Amino acid sequence: MSRKGSDFAGLSVAIVTPFKDGEVDYDTLNAQVDFQIEAGTKCLVPVGTTGESPTLSHEEHERVISAVVQAAAGRAKVMAGTGSNSTAEAIRLTKWAAKEGSDAGLLVAPYYNKPTQEGFYQHFKAISEAVDIPLCVYNIPGRTGKNIEPETIARLAELTNITMVKEATGQMDQASQILGTTDLTLLSGDDSMTLPYLSVGGEGIISVVGNIIPKDMIVLLDAFNAGDARTACELHHKLFTLCRDLLGLATNPIPIKAAMQLLGRDTGDLRLPMTALDDQGLKALQATLTEYGLL
């Protein structure tokens, strides 16, 4: 079946927000945008979880969105993270992203206040009615404390500009139900789940590991889409340990920022309450990067 968000299929990368001396480093941010576009990344996703959006001020959040749109300059799509547990704030941020030229908005489920399923529906419905750009519902109960049930996502799929779901529950049954009952494009929210989700009808990934190896993720996606399941499976297993450690050694984005620092692509600076990877984690990460061939 034709899915209404298929123009965002493929590799999207949830880019980090680089900091230097406590401030957003816009020169490095621009360099990271260029790195992704040169690698063939289809869509850039700033100010999501990986972009440390919870620690950015509202002004910084807006400026990072604007900077990425300007740096991309139409060479790749931009799906800005504009979600919030306040519906009014999510509307404001999504309107800003639309005004600045973002191609879509990534809307995380309201966190901490744990709305009912009807609350989830009304939240996303209000945002969809306030803007015209495509919207991606981001379901990550491990962060937000509550699952958006497949039946609620099916209701949301009836809204014209809700076109995608970023699925980060790790539940294949949920992904299958969403794909079987809606025309939404499903994007994996976990790098290690990319191939499993593709196998049931998913169309891409919003990637963390893509910050350092976007070309390898693209090769996996291309192999699957070409019908070369054997190569896709081999790449999945090659990528697995790296994907696991970048999300498992510590809370995202601590490991990916440490990896980028080791590879000379970021200062590795984080904002509290995020703290640097400890010595044990750093040794494990170095070993994983070395085994993969990056160090």
What's the rounded Cα separation, in Å, for the pair 229 and 151?
A: 31
Asked if 292 is an active-site residue, the reply is no
Which residue is catalytic, options 42, 77, 121, 138?
138
Q: Is residue 166 flagged as an active site residue?
A: yes
Q: What is the DSSP string of the chain?
A: ---TTGGG-EEEEE----EETTEE-HHHHHHHHHHHHHHT-SEEE-SSTTTTGGGS-HHHHHHHHHHHHHHHTTSSEEEEE---SSHHHHHHHHHHHHHHT-SEEEEEPP-SS---HHHHHHHHHHHHHH--S-EEEEE-HHHHSS---HHHHHHHTTSTTEEEEEE-S--HHHHHHHHHH--PEEEESSGGGHHHHHHTT--EEEESGGGT-HHHHHHHHHHHHTT-HHHHHHHHHHHHHHHHHHHHSSSTTHHHHHHHHHTTS------TT--PPPHHHHHHHHHHHHHHT--
Asked whether the beta carbons of 80 and 102 are under 8 A apart, the reply is yes
**Which residue among 146, 166, 197, 257 is the active-site one?**
166
Known catalytic residues are 138, 166
